[in-house]
Amino acid sequence: MNRLFDFHTHILPGIDDGSRSVEESIAMLKELARQGASGIAATPHFYAQRSSPEHFFKERQTAWNLLKSRLRVDSLEIRLGAEVQYFEGIQRLEGLEQFCLEGTRLLLVEMPMCTWTRRMISAIIEVNSRENVIVLLAHIERYWQYWNEKALEQFREHGVLMQASTSLFVERRHKAIKLLREGKIHLLGTDSHNMDNRKPDMKQALENINRKNGEQLLLGLIQREAVVLNEMEIYMDCL
């Protein structure tokens, strides 16, 4: 069975609007393993207006310690990261690299739900130009109504990556597959928050990609994951 890494989850307990307890986190983890996840990025929200980086990292560590103490040895790999909400001046924040997914240069950024201004686009490109950062735009399907091809083209030219939600492959399979084929989706995430209304849905997404000769698409995703997760030398060639 082909497995995919989940680049976007709110699996850490009690830190944001995601999992509400260690028990729920463990249930989510088991469900993701059952559904075909090869590993998980724990990406709690970071809002610069509400919290300092120091406070965020302290809270994240506390939540992680709680969960870690209850994990089995054969548990899925969990890497710590963050979902950083775009804010004015993001490109100037010192230590932004610390928000990258553990062991990688991937910085998951959530964009505003409005038409992106030139200033926002330049800020993201500036962040992406930092030596140790590759911006990964979170759940790109949420911004369709605000997209403009020019902005996307600029992002692509600068090597900004796009994460789509697995739900897109469940709800709008044709569109999702088209974007994947066109190289406009690079990595996937469930963005799962809990075990009721926002639970993991990776299995259906995997099946939908795999349908009708989708094997190559799946293998492409797995290959790209290996490159970003292992910081392989062929980085840019492969993306």
Per-residue interface string for the shown chain with Fe ion, residues 87-126, x marking contact by CB under 5 A: ----------------------------------------
Taking the complex as a whole, the smallest distance from the CB of residue 127 to Fe ion amounts, in Å, to 18
Taking the complex as a whole, the smallest distance from the CB of residue 83 to Fe ion amounts, in Å, to 5
In degrees, rounded to 5, the angle at the alpha carbon of residue 41 between the alpha carbons of residues 114 and 14 is 80
Chain positions 69 to 88 lying near Fe ion, rule: CB under 5 A, are: 83
Q: Rule CB under 5 A: say whether 31 interacts with Fe ion.
A: no
Rounded to whole angstroms, the Cα distance separating 128 from 134 reads 5
- Conformational region of residue 168, where left means phi above 0, alpha means psi within -120 to 50, and beta covers everything else: alpha
Q: Rule CB under 5 A: say whether 191 interacts with Fe ion.
A: yes
What is the end-to-end Cα distance of the chain in Å, rounded? 24
Total residue count of the chain as it appears in this document:
239
Q: Rule CB under 5 A: say whether 16 interacts with Fe ion.
A: no
Nearer to Fe ion, 24 or 227 (CB): 24
Residue 78 contacts by C-beta under 8 Å, 6 or more apart in sequence? 11, 29, 39, 40, 41, 42, 67, 71
Taking the complex as a whole, the smallest distance from the CB of residue 118 to Fe ion amounts, in Å, to 26
Q: To which H or E segment does residue 70 belong?
A: none
For Fe ion, the nearest residue by Cβ is 191
Taking the complex as a whole, the smallest distance from the CB of residue 108 to Fe ion amounts, in Å, to 8
Rounded to whole angstroms, the Cα distance separating 73 from 63 reads 18
Nearer to Fe ion, 191 or 201 (CB): 191
Nearer to Fe ion, 9 or 38 (CB): 9
The site for Fe ion (CB under 5 A) is made up of: 83, 191
